[in-house]
Amino acid sequence: MNYGEALGYMEQIGKYGISPGLDSIRQLVGRLGDPQKELRFVHVAGTNGKGSVCAYLSSVLQCGGYRVGKYTSPAVTDYREEIQVNGNFITKAAVGRYVEQLKAVCDGMAAEGLTHPTPFEVKTAMAFLYFREKKCDIVILETGMGGLLDATNVVENTCVAVLTPISGDHMGFLGKTLREIASQKAGIIKKGCHVVTAAQVPEVMEVIDSQAAGLGCPLTVADAKAAEHVHYGLEKQRFDYGGLKKLEITLAGQYQIENAVTALEGLRALGIWEPEEGVDQSREQNVGFPENRNRRRAFPVGEDKLRQGLAQAGWPGRFAVAGRKPYFILDGAHNEDAARKLAQSVECYFPGRRILYIMGMLRDKEYDKVIGLTHGLADQIITVTPPENPRALSAYELAAAVAQVHEKVTAADSLEEAVEMARLLAGKEDVIIAFGSLSYLGRMMEIIGKAKGKGA
């Protein structure tokens, strides 16, 4: 099977949709020899910030000399970007080879009357096979949705479970209350692993605390408020944390400080993960990088490599600068918490500037709350329909919702038209911000790149 045929098959099995639960993925990986059992993981769940935290973790560990697998979703620029080893996408040949193998197993399961695996389950199994083939030292594994019943939760060898900020999302699958959603996300915690969580609202923190305590897991709260001398910038951001001075990241967005601090605590936990025999594995509520002579380091990384890894970490579609004069920013803010953080970043980086939005959302997201949190900063809003997504909210429906609170809104017939309209409306000192569903931002990058090539 070649790469094109493999993508065709993955599109074909899209009819099996989303099906939370572990029975099917366990059957699938079991018939493949359980490749995940030969790997070690940092498992990352949460509502927002997962991809950025994974980027920081994998970049630092790679700079530290380890062979690092990374599995994230959704893809922004290329299907293969979801499965990487040391920053390199899985090869097209490997995708074809593995999908052919996986198709045979899936067909066998279906012939026996078992549930056919979903596309995400097939892709997750492919990632495990590839990481095993590449003999990865550690895998940074992002959940697809939730945690407890997510296909990635078939793993057992979790060194560190990382929880980014948790808020309302996928409520049709995960629950209607924050406590219910947090219970699903905290389901990635495994007995004896180290748990690292970003600061959470009280009801979420109670769930995480209880889950960690019940499984005998040390718990660290990564408190971004402990970061000092923070300098925000679109190109570089600096901060002090845990005794480390002038740490530098190149990912923009105020929220990236929180993501970096969460990743730093994940790295610290990973470094001291394996306790010596007889050492009390009591639960922790500490910050920074205190030495503990009673624990041996599992994945040590020197300070110079840590700094290098943080600075080199990249992640597309997160307050990313796609153009200048006017600034063209792309951001995947698609839920309430992310929209709030986007608005904070706009006010931080572009005070007093005229702002134009291009907004595209999925129907199953709380787009009314996103609109409510962001519309007040925009002079003009252009809505689009995320292409090739059955869950897309049409540009005209979104425009109607925006019109309830903002009088200057226009629905575009295509992404190309939206970009052209925004450029015609914007002066060189204005700012265009395209945000919402990550599913269309990769296409936006292509369109903006082509416009640059034509001298736009």
Map residue 428 onto helix, strand or coil: coil
The pLDDT assigned to 75 comes to 83
173 or 330: which leads in pLDDT: 330
The pLDDT assigned to 294 comes to 33
283 or 217: which leads in pLDDT: 217
H-type alpha helices, 215-314:
255-271, 303-312
- Given the candidates 3.40.1800.10, 3.30.2390.10, 3.40.50.300, 3.40.1190.10, the CATH classification of the domain at 3-312 is 3.40.1190.10
Across the range 237-254, mean pLDDT stands at 94
Across the range 3-14, mean pLDDT stands at 94
Across the range 415-427, mean pLDDT stands at 95
- Given a cut of 70, is residue 285 above it in pLDDT? no
Half-sphere exposure of 187 (CA within 13 A, CB side): 23
**How long, in residues, is the chain?**
456
446 or 246: which leads in pLDDT: 246
The pLDDT assigned to 300 comes to 87
Sequence ranges of the chain with CATH classification 3.90.190.20:
320-453
Q: What percent of the chain has pLDDT over 70?
A: 91
**Per-residue tokens: 432:** 């265009």
Instruction: Give residue 291's pLDDT band: very low, low, confident or very high (50, 70, 90).
Output: very low
The pLDDT assigned to 225 comes to 94
Sheet containing strand 68-71, edge to edge, reads 88-89, 83-85, 68-71, 138-142, 41-45, 158-163, 194-198, 219-222
The pLDDT assigned to 292 comes to 38
CATH number attached to the domain at 320-453: 3.90.190.20
The pLDDT assigned to 272 comes to 47
Sequence ranges of the chain with CATH classification 3.40.1190.10:
3-312
pLDDT in tens, 131-178: 999 999 999 999 998 899 999 999 999 999 999 999 876 555 676 789
Instruction: Give residue 290's pLDDT band: very low, low, confident or very high (50, 70, 90).
Output: very low
- Tokens 């910030």 -> residue: 49
Task: Compute the C-alpha angle 400/370/164, nearest 5°.
Answer: 155
The pTM score is 0.86
Q: Which residues of 58-96 are buried (b: 16+ CB within 10 A; e: fewer)?
A: bbbbbbbebebbbbbbbbbeebbbbbbbeeebbeeebbb
